[in-house]
């Protein structure tokens, strides 16, 4: 086990797959010579050369379209969209083309490709560079959706995404890029669609994703220590496929569910999970299900405002404590 | 009536078209014409639902590329893609069956008229959102370049498509990466019901923009299969040789409305009639006769083509409907649609 | 009261507002000379002239961008995006620009504009021309979302949308364009954010939108007649603002909630409503909440397949009947 | 080092620039320069968070347009928009305050560096997603045209922006509708860290594409405020007179990195140094001296500008932080954020 940053785990995951499989190519804006604006792809150009690691014009539709065309003709492209907010400028290629091609052609077209993108808030970048848009992708049938919270998962899930025969949208949490963690050495491949129970408690279940996993874990410690509330914390890791068995199993045990989402409130992934639990786990529920989300507003940029908009550890603790008093 | 001009074009390539090729070009144009007409009849009989966009009048372009391309080249088409798909050798019952929503359809009834695809024949999909397939074609070309296969991607689209952002991104991208892709704009003078000249800042929506991507301006008479064949062969050869992309504007006209729903009333009186005088099939037949093909040979070809369409129609009509189980198939590579465990 | 088609109610609503207010202008592809591909805007060019009713190139980003620029400088544009699926090609302008501008500028920029678009399935148009994407819009803070089911609502809510000081995405159901209904004569303006209870029953509450309202009503008749199940049917009419009071009130009475959604399953508006009810109306619930949706697949085109993919009256009846046996 | 060329440009307009105007041009360039430098200092002191994109080296363009525009004209800028916003008369404390996330900020801390806006001064927003504001500017121009106000929209963007779809759509749209909008491409040779020449099919990313929209190709030395002022005045007059849009490519160079995070290491050695010799402020000062302005006058102007920046810094620093209540304000016109009843 080596200690790697989340950012270096990205490069490690890509490198592992490029070494293994010559069909894996990588393209994006400023990703090659500059190693990416988040420095998550440093060294790849040197290692694999300009034929496989390519800088692109500011043409997101062309970048994803090219990845799609290459994937359907035998390559396994990894494309970077610098900030997940920019998925909006190429949303047609994601939602209408990549996600639908296999189905529309009744299985003729395969698109083994990965779209990596930096997601989420916390850097004071303002409303157009800070969104958590994993629910945009979850809504669309035909694309898998992954969002790791730890460096090891970054490497293992990225490798799994590259090997997956279906298109995967891989959300990297930009506020976690400098986080360090143990990452298995050598070839390491994880499995898509498996949530992880990071902590077990009898009182309630918290489901979280990416940056919110860390906040949920911190909140759980405080809730236990200071308020005697024992929480189970589930890191979803992927939204599609969704590990409903783990969720239903854990909620079944605690009878209480809280979701912690960075996305704005309406139609977030938490709502989907609530709807599954409210249908399939209803009789095991002891109390209302509560979603803790960013309010339904665009993100403000000033430190004070941003910090008080996305769910904080303090807010998670407060809301769970209040609601557990029911 | 605007007609094709060569004013900005490079000297036509010195390709001589042999008799066998000419025969192929006629055969293919016939099949495309008859099959499209059949599709129209089947609509009228309410055997085809939804929408459908016919290429009647534009067949010379699809046919010429179909003949000029290598079997392992790739075609990318629009919703107006029946002819281009057939021109790559996709089966007629596969096409008509898909339009009728039958099991024998190319897509088993999943896609319909606007998404015809036959990967085995290099027909890599029909795309119904304007512009989307231009970057996709660039990607296929990149794959050929990367693997050194000398395959070429050919991407067809309309005049109206030149005004959407994806056109611009794809052309620049292809030019910078010198990709083996041929972009073919079929200028039929209309984007749906609106004359292209009313919504475009230049006279030739593709050719007048080629220079924005460092490409030569190429305009060809899209109703002349030989002329298109020559230009196509040249562009394909250039792409195969590593010379990068081409952008070709083929001047043509659709004889029918934009789609099934459209009677084409917005056209000025007499415009259609003038273009019918330049019907690619009529012109090509006349030329073949002048060049020594004889009437019985051509008649034969015509009845063979019609027979093929009739047989395909019968097969497609006899094909069962798809199964309801198909709905939750083929979202994923494992054949299923599961998003959860 | 005159009987108008849903399609003619669109033209009537636009005409009413253009007559009243010279700042109202209308742009889109094939909307002027041709009167729209769905013939929903026939006659407007003749009535208001080419300065106010304008045909555009196939440039959806330019169309919505132009509407936005015009709105912030004093006009009140109505822009048409021909099929709602095409929102993907201009999603940046909708989600990142139009929806966020007022907030990012702390109220300096106002965008009184309406985006009209034809939404939904049922015409055998295939996966790229049949989507119900109202949840794409509901996810984005800063834009209102309206989807009428009846001709009168088309006229009244469209007028309200034009007069609203905020941007509104107005989803017209393409399968309903030829539906007829009574529409009030003369100036008629409705109110955004009010759901309508179309039918009241003691056994369960069905919440539906647009095309699904009609299916829910038909199902309710059958459920009552054939199975003795009395349903309340709520037509949401607008997703943002969302009339949660009406929903919570009605669910409170019946203790049972079903949502009927045309959108594919994941993160549909029904999930959001379930999450609100499961938090705020939990103690009044008698049984699991059930969402009836299109399965999470792109839409197939053949008659048989399309009809069996979107929720049918028969399926609504079947699911509610089965679940009411709990 | 690429330098500005006029080879494809029309003859420069015969505008004579008066002494007062020259003085204005110098004053504005000074203020932009000093304020940007101050912004940089405040980063280093960690008083400004997030990202920030400075215009150091590119001030002549913003200043020249600022002086040439009518007060009721509209500016649309990018994330690199401090200078353009200030050039319209937005208050310096409003700009610095926003960068520092203070209540006195132009956006009350809601938007930050990348979204500076001052509607009262015609600064209609800074847009951080490449290309988006080009169609928005066209829309403002449409509104001016519709209402007959003779206002003009001016839209600034970078060389890299010419490769995105929205650029293409906006230019065609503006040209077809003959809208009073001036598109100004500031070609500083880089899109972030990548040389523009590596990702663009033509040498001049804007000017070489003007013909694709039926527009003349215009290239100007973006480091020469007088030259830009002349071209700007001409384009604004043309737009006001109903002559439609212009596309101007101003050759320039940024002295600092792309953003706060960027040390600019990708630049070839000596490139920056050569461009520093063409620093727009140094060149302009030299010219003013040659044209009879005297040293004390210029020194005065410089200390006045610096004083203004100092005062604004002090005000901004003294301004309170925004209130947490602001988070749920101004989503809607009613001032609130309610999505439900
Ligand atoms: C993004 C998008 N906008 C609009 C449409 C609707 N539409 C379908 S075909 C068409 C006209 C296309 O014109 P052109 O490119 O000239 O092709 P043609 O139909 O003449 O072959 C339009 C506007 C679409 N499918 N996609
Ligand atoms: C759609 C989109 N893609 C990528 C980016 C990231 N990005 C920000 S600035 C920039 C480079 C822009 O270059 P240019 O247009 O030359 O402007 P400059 O920064 O040089 O002023 C990029 C790629 C973005 N903001 N939006
Ligand atoms: Mg056309
Ligand atoms: Mg630049």
pLDDT tens across B19-47, in order? 999 999 999 999 999 999 999 999 999 99
* Cβ(A140) – ligand 2 distance below 6 Å: no
Of the given ranges (A81-85, B261-265, C247-251, D82-86), which has the lowest mean pLDDT? B261-265
Predicted confidence (pLDDT) per residue in D221-273, tens digit: 999 999 999 999 999 999 999 999 999 999 999 999 888 888 888 999 999 99
Query: Using an 8 Å Cβ cutoff, are B204 and B264 in contact?
Result: no
Confidence at residue D11, expressed as pLDDT on a 0 to 100 scale: 53
pLDDT tens for each residue of C153-185: 999 999 999 999 999 999 999 999 999 999 999
Total domain count for chain C?
2
Residue B54 Cα, ligand 3 centroid: separation in angstroms?
12
Residue A86, ligand 2, Cβ within 6 A? yes
Q: Which pLDDT band, with edges at 50, 70 and 90, does B13 fall under?
A: low
**Looking at the structure, do residues A21 and A151 belong to the same domain, yes or no?**
yes
- Examine residue C190 and state whether it is found in any structural domain, yes or no: no
Tell me the pLDDT band of D12, cut-offs 50, 70 and 90.
low
Mean pLDDT of C221-233: 98
3-state secondary structure of B187: strand
Q: Is B111 on the interface with C (CB under 8 A)?
A: yes
Task: With respect to residue C188, please indicate whether it lies within any of the assigned structural domains.
Answer: no
Contacts of B11 (CB under 8 A, 6+ apart): none
Per-residue pLDDT of chain A (326 residues; tens, 9 = 90+): 899 999 999 999 999 999 999 999 999 999 999 999 999 999 999 999 999 999 999 999 999 999 999 999 999 999 999 999 999 999 999 999 999 999 999 999 999 999 999 999 999 999 999 999 999 999 999 999 999 999 999 999 999 999 999 999 999 999 999 999 999 999 999 999 999 999 999 999 999 999 999 999 999 999 999 999 999 999 999 999 999 999 999 999 999 999 999 999 999 999 999 999 999 999 999 999 999 999 999 999 999 999 999 999 999 999 999 999 85
Residue A100: closest CA among C88, D341, D176? C88
Strands (E), chain A: 2-5, 24-28, 53-55, 76-83, 114-119, 144-146, 168-173, 180-183, 196-199, 204-208, 231-235, 238-240, 257-264, 290-294
Average pLDDT, integer, range D178-198: 97
Structural domain ending residue among the three candidates C136, C156, C183: C183
Q: Are residues C59 and C34 in the same domain?
A: yes
User: Closest ligand 1 atom to the C-alpha of B164?
Assistant: 1
Secondary structure in 3-state letters for A30-81? CCCCCCCCCCCCCCHHHHHCCCCEEECCCCHHHHHHHHHHHHCCCCEEEEEE
Ligand 4 centroid to B77 CA: how many Å?
35
Q: Are residues C131 and C244 in the same domain?
A: no
Q: Which of C223, C230, C228, C226 is nearest to C203 (CA)?
A: C230
Res. B250: pLDDT tops 70: yes
Give the model confidence (pLDDT) of A186-220 as tens digits.
999 999 999 999 999 999 999 999 999 999 999 99
Q: What is the pLDDT of residues B277-304, one digit of tens each?
A: 999 999 999 999 999 999 999 999 999 9
Q: How far are the Cα atoms of C22, C47, D175 from residue C53, in angstroms, in the given order?
A: 12, 9, 18
Please check whether residue B234 is in contact with residue B220, taking contact to mean a CB–CB distance below 8 angstroms: no
Q: Which two tokens stand for residue B297?
A: 């040979």
**Averaged over B97-120, what is the pLDDT?**
98
Query: Which 8-state DSSP code applies to residue C310?
Result: S
Any idea which residue has 């979603």 for tokens?
A291
What pLDDT sits at residue D13?
52
Q: Are A64 and A93 in contact (CB under 8 A)?
A: yes
- Asked if residue A189 belongs to a domain, the reply is no
Domain boundary among A156, A183, A210: A183
Whether C261 and C300 share a structural domain: yes
- d(CA A162, CA A67) in angstroms, rounded, equals 13
Interval D65-75 mean pLDDT: 98
Same domain, A127 and A218: no
pLDDT reported for residue D7: 45
Check whether residue A137 and residue A242 sit in a common domain.
Answer: no
Which runs of consecutive H residues, i.e. helices, occur in A58-132? Answer: 60-71, 91, 101-104
Q: How far is CA C105 from the centre of its chain?
A: 28
Tell me the mean pLDDT in the region C23-27.
Answer: 98
Q: Domain span at residue A203?
A: 196-323
Measure in Å the smallest separation between the Cα of A189 and chain C Cα atoms. Answer: 27
Q: Is the domain of A150 the same as that of A43?
A: yes
Burial of A304 (0-12, 13-18, 19+ CB in 10 A): middle
Q: What is the rounded distance in angstroms from the CA atom of residue C69 to the CA atom of residue D135?
A: 8
| Average model confidence (pLDDT) across chain C | 98
List the CATH number of the domain containing A316.
3.40.50.920
Which of helix, strand or coil describes residue C235? strand
Task: Return the residue in A300, A308, A310, A312 with the most chain D beta carbons within 10 A, the one to mutate for interface testing.
Answer: A300
**D95-118 pLDDT, tens digit each:** 999 999 999 999 999 999 999 999
CA nearest to B111, candidates C119, C84, C302, A142: C302
Query: Which structure tokens are listed for C59?
Result: 């440039």
CA-CA distance, A236 to B55, in Å (whole number)? 49
Could you list the active site residues of A? 129
User: What are the catalytic residues of C?
Assistant: 129
- CB of D72 within 8 A of CB of D151? yes
Question: Domain spans of chain B?
Answer: 19-49+62-316
Distance C88 CA to ligand 3 centre (A): 22
Residue B259: band (very low, low, confident or very high) from pLDDT cuts 50, 70, 90:
confident
* Smallest-distance ligand from the CA of B160: 1
- pLDDT given at position A139: 98
* Predicted pLDDT at B4: 42
Closest atom, ligand 1, to C-alpha of B58:
21
Whose CA is closest to B10, among B210, B216, B183? B216
Q: Do residues C141 and C14 share a domain?
A: yes
Within an 8 Å CB–CB cutoff, is residue B47 touching chain C? Answer: no
Q: Is D178 on the interface with C (CB under 8 A)?
A: no
Structure confidence at residue B12 as a pLDDT band (50, 70, 90): low
User: Does residue A84 sit in the same domain as residue A167?
Assistant: yes
Between CA A267 and CA C99 the distance in angstroms is 16
Query: Is there a contact between A65 and B132 if contact means CB atoms under 8 Å apart?
Result: yes
CB pairs under 8 A between B and D: 68
| Whether pLDDT at B1 is above 80 | no
Q: Which of B31, B48, B107 is nearest to B261 (CA)?
A: B48
d(CA C121, CA C129): 8
Does A191 fall in a domain?
no
| Token pair in block for residue B123 | 């027909």
Report yes or no: C77 and C56 within 8 Å, Cβ to Cβ: no
Question: What digits encode the pLDDT tens for the residues C44-58?
Answer: 999 999 999 999 999
Instruction: Give residue D50's pLDDT.
Output: 87
C169 and C213 assigned to the same domain: no
Q: What is the pLDDT of residue D3?
A: 43
Ligand 4 center–CA B266 separation, angstroms: 45
Provide the CB-side half-sphere exposure for B68 (13 A, CA). Answer: 30
pLDDT of residue D32: 98
Omega before C241 cis (within 30°)?
yes
Q: Are residues C162 and C204 in the same domain?
A: no
For residue D85, give both structure tokens: 């916003």
Nearest to residue C130, comparing CAs of B333, B94, A100, B44? A100
Q: Considering only CB atoms, which chain A residues are within 8 Å of C94?
A: 88
Q: Which fold has domain D19-49+62-316?
A: Rossmann fold (3.40.50)
Angle made by CA atoms D324, D326, D332, in degrees to the nearest 5: 150
The whole-angstrom distance between B269's CA and the closest CA on chain A is: 38
Closest listed residue to residue B258, CA positions, set D173, C175, C174, C30: C30
- Indicate the average pLDDT of chain D: 95
Looking at chain C, which subunits does it touch, using at least 3 CB pairs closer than 8 Å as the criterion?
A, B, D
For residue B18, the tally of other CB atoms under 10 A from its CB is 9
Specify the 3-state DSSP secondary structure of B42.
helix
Element containing residue C182 per DSSP (H, E):
strand C180-183
Q: What's the distance, CA C50 to chain centroid?
A: 28
Same domain, C245 and C305: yes
Kindly calculate the radius of gyration of chain B based on its CA atoms and give it in whole angstroms: 20
Q: Beta-carbon neighbour count of residue C245 at 10 Å?
A: 12
Of the candidates C25, C69, C276, which has its C-beta nearest D140's C-beta?
Answer: C69
Residue of B43, B46, B115, B129 to mutate, testing the C interface (most C Cβ within 10 Å of its Cβ): B129
C-alpha count within 13 angstroms, C-beta hemisphere, residue D269: 0
What does the DSSP 8-state code read for residue A96? I
Nearest C-alpha neighbor of B135 from the set A320, A66, D274: A66
CB spacing of D165 vs B163 below 8 angstroms? no
């Amino acid at each position: 086990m080596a200690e790697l940053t989340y950012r270096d785990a990205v490069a490690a995951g890509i490198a592992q797959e490029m070494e293994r499989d010559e069909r894996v190519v990588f393209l994006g804006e400023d990703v090659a010579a500059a190693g990416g604006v988040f420095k998550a792809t440093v060294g790849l150009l040197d290692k694999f050369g300009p034929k496989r690691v390519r800088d692109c014009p500011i043409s997101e539709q062309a970048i994803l379209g090219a990845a799609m065309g290459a994937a359907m003709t035998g390559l396994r492209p990894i494309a970077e969209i610098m900030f997940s907010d920019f998925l909006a400028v190429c949303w047609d290629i994601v939602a209408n083309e990549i996600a639908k091609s296999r189905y529309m052609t009744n299985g003729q077209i395969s698109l083994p490709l990965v779209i990596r993108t930096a997601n989420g808030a916390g850097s004071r970048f303002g409303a157009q560079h800070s969104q958590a848009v994993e629910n945009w992708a979850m809504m669309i049938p035909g694309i898998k959706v992954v969002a790791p919270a730890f460096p090891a998962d970054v490497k293992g899930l990225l490798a799994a995404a590259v090997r997956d025969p279906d298109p995967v949208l891989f959300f990297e949490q930009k506020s976690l890029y400098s986080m360090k963690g143990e990452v298995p050495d050598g070839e390491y491949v994880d499995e898509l669609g498996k949530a992880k129970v990071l902590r077990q408690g009898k009182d309630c279940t918290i489901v979280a994703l990416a940056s919110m996993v860390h906040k949920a874990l911190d909140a759980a410690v405080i809730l236990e220590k200071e308020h005697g509330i024992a929480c189970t914390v589930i890191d979803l890791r992927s939204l599609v496929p969704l590990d409903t068995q783990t969720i239903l199993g854990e909620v079944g045990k605690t009878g209480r569910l809280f979701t912690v989402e960075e996305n704005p409130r309406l139609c977030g992934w938490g709502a989907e999970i609530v709807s599954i639990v409210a249908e399939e786990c209803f009789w095991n529920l002891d109390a209302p299900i509560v979603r803790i989300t960013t309010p339904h507003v665009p993100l403000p940029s000033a430190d004070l405002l941003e910090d008080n908009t996305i769910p904080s550890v303090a807010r998670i603790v407060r809301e769970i404590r209040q609601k557990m008093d029911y | 009536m605007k007609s094709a001009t060569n004013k900005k074009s490079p000297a036509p390539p010195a390709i001589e078209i042999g008799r066998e090729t000419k025969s192929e070009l006629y055969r293919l144009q016939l099949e495309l014409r008859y099959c499209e007409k059949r599709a129209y009849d089947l609509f009228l009989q309410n055997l085809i639902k939804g929408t459908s966009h016919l290429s009647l009048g534009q067949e010379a372009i699809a046919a010429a590329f179909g003949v000029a391309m290598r079997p392992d080249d790739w075609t990318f088409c629009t919703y107006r893609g029946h002819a281009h798909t057939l021109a790559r050798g996709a089966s007629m019952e596969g096409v008509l069956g898909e339009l009728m929503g039958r099991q024998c359809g190319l897509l088993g009834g999943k896609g319909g008229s606007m998404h015809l695809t036959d990967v085995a024949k290099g027909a890599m999909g029909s795309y119904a959102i304007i512009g989307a397939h231009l970057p996709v074609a660039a990607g296929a070309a990149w794959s050929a370049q990367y693997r050194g296969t000398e395959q070429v991607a050919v991407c067809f689209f309309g005049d109206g498509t030149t005004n959407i952002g994806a056109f611009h991104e794809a052309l620049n991208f292809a030019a910078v990466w010198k990709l083996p892709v041929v972009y073919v704009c079929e200028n039929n003078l209309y984007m749906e019901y609106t004359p292209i000249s009313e919504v475009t800042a230049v006279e030739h929506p593709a050719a007048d923009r080629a220079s924005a991507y460092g490409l030569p301006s190429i305009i060809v008479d899209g109703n002349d299969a030989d002329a298109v064949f020559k230009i196509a062969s040249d562009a394909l050869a250039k792409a195969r040789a590593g010379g990068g992309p081409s952008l070709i504007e083929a001047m043509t006209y659709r004889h029918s409305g934009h789609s099934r729903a459209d009677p084409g009333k917005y056209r000025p009186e007499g415009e259609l009639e003038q273009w019918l005088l330049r019907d690619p099939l009529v012109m090509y037949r006349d030329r073949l006769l002048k060049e020594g093909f004889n009437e019985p040979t051509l008649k034969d070809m015509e009845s063979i083509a019609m027979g093929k369409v009739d047989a395909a129609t019968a097969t497609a009509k006899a094909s069962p409907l798809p199964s309801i189980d198909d709905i939750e198939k083929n979202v994923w590579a494992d054949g299923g649609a599961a998003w959860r465990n």
